Amino acid sequence: MNIILLGPPGAGKGTQAHRLEQQRGMVQLSTGDMLRHAVAAGTPIGLKAKAVMAAGELVSDAIVSALIGERLDTSVDKGAIFDGFPRTQHQAEALDLLLADRARKLDHVIELDVNEEALVDRITGRFSCANCGAGYHDRFKLPRVENTCDVCSAHEFHRRPDDNEQTVRTRMAEYRAKTAPILPYYRERGLVRAVEGMASVDEVARQIDAILDGAPALPF
Ligand code: ADP
Ligand code: ADP
Ligand code: ZN
């Protein structure tokens, strides 16, 4: 099973991808995480991507498609969760080729349906565990014990430099201009399933599970 989680910044893609990894052994392929690692390691890709990411603009299609291709060659036997990729029509076509070359296919494109204004609050309150990457929120998901990760008990947390209101607005605009327009490409193939992304984390999880477990698509 290979799925795409599609939605604007803050829609809940990473939160749901982490859960699916833990519960189903699927593998999250997040181009955002891959790029952040490249920036932290100071690789040639990281050096190119750093300023683009800080501005909230999109890194080149060639770079992110190559990153995904490399990761698809490692073990993703129980399925891949594409999180934050594809973000352009060109990337969507590149993904089709990468999957076809490996005799894999796309099973679902899960569209997280959200209200953009509420997402600014989600993103400016977001932080994550510096050790295991578990995601938290100042208001919606605080660690159960103050300053202690629920998953690994670490005490260090991290906030992304691009999670500020101004950059978020640019990221939303990029989503509207370049990413939302790829939905028809997948709709034509009957792959798109919408989920109510403004519901609670558990309710969104329940809706995604119903899709993965084969609930029939509602006619629209
Ligand atoms: P994305 O990967 O799509 O950018 P995240 O999964 O990182 O989004 O979620 C953004 C922030 O919103 C995080 O702080 C997360 O804890 C919180 N969050 C995720 N899903 C929900 C939800 N359904 N309701 C409320 N807050 C959520
Ligand atoms: P979010 O889902 O919270 O917006 P990501 O972690 O997916 O954030 O992406 C962070 C930044 O990394 C983006 O704003 C963009 O600069 C870059 N990026 C990530 N994935 C891609 C992609 N597929 N194509 C182009 N740029 C990307
Ligand atoms: Zn942790």
- CA-CA-CA-CA torsion sign (133, 16, 125, 162): positive
Rounded distance from Cα 198 to ligand 1 centre (Å): 10
Find, among 76, 68, 102, the residue nearest to 21 by Cα. 76
Q: Which residues pair with 126 in a beta bridge?
A: 137
Q: Give the residue whose CA is nearest to atom 19 of ligand 2.
A: 32
CA distance 166 to 163: 9
CA-CA distance, 181 to 132, in Å (whole number)? 33
Instruction: Identify whether 87 is a catalytic site residue.
Output: yes
pLDDT value for 215: 74
> Exposed, middle or buried: residue 86 (CB in 10 Å: 0-12, 13-18, 19+)?
buried
What pLDDT does 218 receive?
64
Cα–Cα distance measured from residue 90 to residue 206, given in angstroms and rounded to the nearest whole number: 31
Residue among 43, 10, 49 nearest 31 (CA): 49
Residue 171 Cβ inside 6 Å of ligand 2? The answer reads: yes
Report which of 139, 97, 105 is spatially closest to residue 2, judged by C-alpha positions: 105
Q: Which amino acid is at 181?
A: P
Question: What does the pLDDT look like over 109-162, one tens digit per residue?
Answer: 999 999 988 999 999 999 999 999 999 999 999 999 999 999 999 999 999 999
CA gyration radius, the chain = 17
Q: Helix, strand or coil for residue 128?
A: strand
**pLDDT, tens digit, 9 for 90 and up, residues 15-73:** 999 999 999 999 999 999 999 999 999 999 999 999 999 999 999 999 999 999 999 98
Q: Which tens digits make up the pLDDT trace of 158-215?
A: 999 999 999 999 999 999 999 999 999 999 999 999 999 999 999 999 999 999 998 7
Ligand 1 atom with the smallest distance to the CA of 201 is: 23
